[in-house]
Amino acid sequence: FVHAKHLGELEFLHNTAVCVDTSGKIVAVEPNCNQQKTVEALYARLRWSLEDTSVTLGWDKRLFFFPGFVDTHAHASQYPNLGIFGKTTLLDWLNTYTFPTEASLAELPKARRVYTRCIRQALAHGTTTAAYYATIDVNATNLLADLCFSMGQRAFVGRVCMDHLGPDYYRDESADQSIAATQATIEHIRSIDNNFELVSPILTPRFAPACSSEIMKGLSEVQQRTQLPVQTHISENVNEIELVKELFPDCKHYADVYDTHGLLNEKTILAHAIHLTEEEADLIAKRKAKIAHCPCSNSALSSGVARVRWLLEKGIQVGLGSDMSGGYSPSILEAARHAKLVSNHLIMPGGTLGNLSSEERDKAKLSIEEVLYLATKGGAEVMGLADKIGTFEVGKQWDAQLIWTGLVPDEVAYDDFTTYGATDIFGWETPDERIAKWVFNGDSHNVRKVWVAGRLVHEQLLRKENWMDE
C-alpha cells in the first residue's frame, strides 16, 4: 500500500493488511502481515469471522494499492470533445466547441451515452471521486447523478448556472429559473442518495462572465441554507479577466466578484487560478476557498501556468483537475505528470517567474511525491472529504486502485503488447523508481481494479489470465 499522508512524502506500507468492513470503511491497518497465519490471528483479535469481512493482502511486489484519484474539476458534458480544441483559447473555444456540445445533451439518449462513457473512463483511470459540471439541462444533469450512483463513483454533480452572455440557444432564461432548476437537481439527488453519501449536488455558477449578480446572490442564499459546496472558474485567461473587469466595474478584482456575492468560502472550489494577484490569493487564503489546478487544460488552451507552490505557501489547499475537455485527458495521472512538468516550465529560462535564484527555482518545481499528494489527499481536502478519503487510514473509506507495475514476460509482451501498456519494470527498480516510472508512463493499463466505498467498480479483464501467477 502506497499513499501520501503529507505533502511531499509517500509512505510505503510493505507486508501490510488493510481490513475493510462491509460498509466499505477501513477498520484496521496491520503491518508485518506476511502469512496467512498472521491474517487469521488478526481476524481472531478483531473478532471477525472470515464470512463477514474481507481482508485485502498487499504483499505481491508487482502490485500495489494506491488511494483512488480525486478529480476536483471535470465537465462530464464535454467528454466527447476530449482532444478537440485546435488552436483556440478560452472564449472562442467555449463558443466553437463547448456550448454546442453541452446544448446537444438535452437529448437524453445522447446524454446517457456520453455520461456513461465518461464515468467508465474515469473509473478505468482510477478516479474514484469527481467534481462534475453537467449542463443547464435539469433532466440530463439528474441522469448524470443517477449514473454516478449506479456505477458507484463518488461524485459532486453540478447543474450549470449561466444567465448572461452565453448564446441564445444555451442560456438560463432568468436568475429565478436557474435557481429553481438547481433546486430541482438538489431534490432529485436527495431522492436517490438521501444523505449525499456517494453523490452530492454542488452549486455551479459557471464563471463570473456568464452569471448575473442576481444568479450569484441567489446561489449564495441556497448555499447558506443547504451548506452545499460550490464550484466555479477563476482567472483562467487574460481576456476573461478583462471581461470580468468590464462587467463588474465596482469589484476590486475577479476574486472580489465572488466574495461580494457571497460565494467565496471554505466550500468553494475555484478552477484554474492562473493569473491571480497577490491580493486575490491572500483573499482566497483568508476565506479558505480551495483551488483545482488543471495543468492539461491550461497548456491545451494556452491559458498560462498556475503558480502552485505560491498558492500552497499561502496555505491554500490545492487539488488536481482534468478539466475535461479544456484538458485533453480523463486521467488524473496525466494531470499529475503535467503538473510536475508545467512547474518546471514556470522556472525555465524565459519562464513566467523570470529571474530567480537557483534555490528559488528548485523550490517552485513540484516533486512526484507532491503531485501524487495533490492527486489524492490534496483533492480530498479541496472537496471537503479529507476525513473520508485520500489515504489508507482507519476510519476512511476503501476508495482504492490496484496498480500493476510488474515485469511482463517477453513472450507475452511480444504476443500481446497492447494489453500491457508502456510501463516496463525490470525488477531491479527501488519502490520510488517504480512509482516514478508509473507516474511518467502509466495509464489505464496499469489500473487492475478500482473500489469505491468497498465496492468493486472497475476490473480489467486480462486476455491472458494465467501468466501473472506463474
Place of cell 506463474: 470
Shortest Cβ 293–ligand GUN spacing (Å): 12
Residue 207 binding: pick among Fe ion, ligand GUN, none (C-beta 5-8 Å cut-off by kind) = ligand GUN
For ligand GUN, the binding residue among 16, 128, 135, 297 (CB under 6 A) is: 297
**164 is in the binding site of which of ligand GUN, Fe ion, none (Cβ under 5 to 8 A by kind)?**
none
Minimum distance from residue 29 beta carbon to ligand GUN (Å): 38
Instruction: Lay out the site mask for Fe ion across 249-288 (x = CB under 5 A, - = otherwise).
Output: ----------------------x-----------------
Is 323 a binding residue for ligand GUN by CB under 6 A? The answer is yes
- In the complex with ligand GUN, which residue's Cβ is closer, 328 or 451? 328
For Fe ion, give the closer residue by CB, 291 or 412. Answer: 291
Q: Helices marked H in 349-449 — which ranges?
A: 358-364, 368-373, 379-382, 410-415, 431-441
Least distance to ligand GUN, CB of residue 73, Å: 8
Q: Cβ 236 to Fe ion, closest distance in Å?
A: 8
Could you tell me the smallest distance in angstroms from the CB atom of residue 276 to ligand GUN? 15
- For residue 9, give Cα distances in angstroms to 287, 294, 334, 338, 432: 27, 22, 20, 19, 11
Query: Do 458 and 450 touch, CB atoms closer than 8 A?
Result: yes
Report the partner that residue 156 touches, choosing among Fe ion, ligand GUN, none (CB closer than 5 to 8 A by kind): none
Q: How far is the CB of 170 from ligand GUN (least distance, A)?
A: 12
With b for 16 or more beta-carbon neighbours within 10 A and e for fewer, the 230-248 pattern comes to bbbbbbbbeebbebbeebb
In angstroms, give the least distance from the CB of 99 to ligand GUN: 9
Q: Segment contacting ligand GUN (CB under 6 A): 41-49, 90-98, 244-252, 309-317? A: 90-98
Q: Which residue has the cell 491474517?
A: 39
Using the rule CB under 5 A, is 323 a contact of Fe ion?
Answer: yes
What does 178 bind: ligand GUN, Fe ion, none (CB cut-off 5 to 8 Å by kind)? none
| Residue of the chain from 206, 261, 275, 337 that contacts ligand GUN (CB under 6 A) | 206
Alpha helices in 72-229 (DSSP H): 90-93, 99-104, 108-124, 138-151, 175-192, 213-226
Task: At 209, give phi and psi (nearest 5°).
Answer: -60, -25
CA distance 435 to 368: 8
Q: Footprint of Fe ion on residues 385-424 (CB under 5 A)?
A: none
CB of 256 to Fe ion, least distance (A): 21
Is residue 438 within 8 Å of 454, Cβ to Cβ?
A: no
Choose between 127 and 299: whose C-beta lies nearer to ligand GUN.
299
Within 389-428, the residues that bind ligand GUN by CB under 6 A are: none
Rounded to whole angstroms, the Cα distance separating 156 from 198 reads 8
Contact with ligand GUN (CB under 6 A) among 56, 72, 81, 98:
98
Q: What distances in angstroms separate CA 411 from CA 250, 414, 466, one per listed residue?
A: 68, 5, 13
Task: Show the cell assigned to 246.
Answer: 468590464
Residue with the closest Cβ to ligand GUN?
Answer: 326
Nearest to residue 68, comparing CAs of 340, 338, 316, 379?
A: 379
Closest CB 188 distance from ligand GUN, rounded Å: 22
283 binds, among ligand GUN, Fe ion, none (CB under 5 to 8 A by kind): none
In one-letter notation, the amino acid at residue 217 is K
By CB under 6 A, the residues from 231 to 250 that bind ligand GUN are 233, 236
The DSSP code sequence of 9-52 is EEEE-TTEEEEE-TTSBEEEEESS--SHHHHHHHHHHHT--TTT
CB half-sphere exposure, 184, CA atoms < 13 A: 17
Which of residues 207, 258, 328, 438 is near ligand GUN by CB under 6 A? 207
123: partner contacted, choices Fe ion, ligand GUN, none (Cβ within 5-8 A by kind): none
Q: Please say which residue, 255 or 453, places its beta carbon nearer to ligand GUN.
A: 255
Query: What cell was used for 372?
Result: 501524487
- Amino acid at position 367, single letter: S
CA-CA distances (angstroms) from residue 344 to 8, 118, 253, 281, 378? 16, 30, 28, 21, 20
Under rule CB under 6 A, residue 275 binds ligand GUN: no
Q: Cell triple for residue 132?
A: 462534475
140 binds, among ligand GUN, Fe ion, none (CB under 5 to 8 A by kind): none
Which cell numbers hold the place of 118? 465518461
Q: Which one, 297 or 391, has the nearer CB to ligand GUN? A: 297
Chain residues that interact with Fe ion, rule: CB under 5 A: 271, 323
Please report, as ranges, the residues that interact with ligand GUN according to CB under 6 A: 75, 90, 94, 98, 206-207, 233, 236, 297, 323, 326
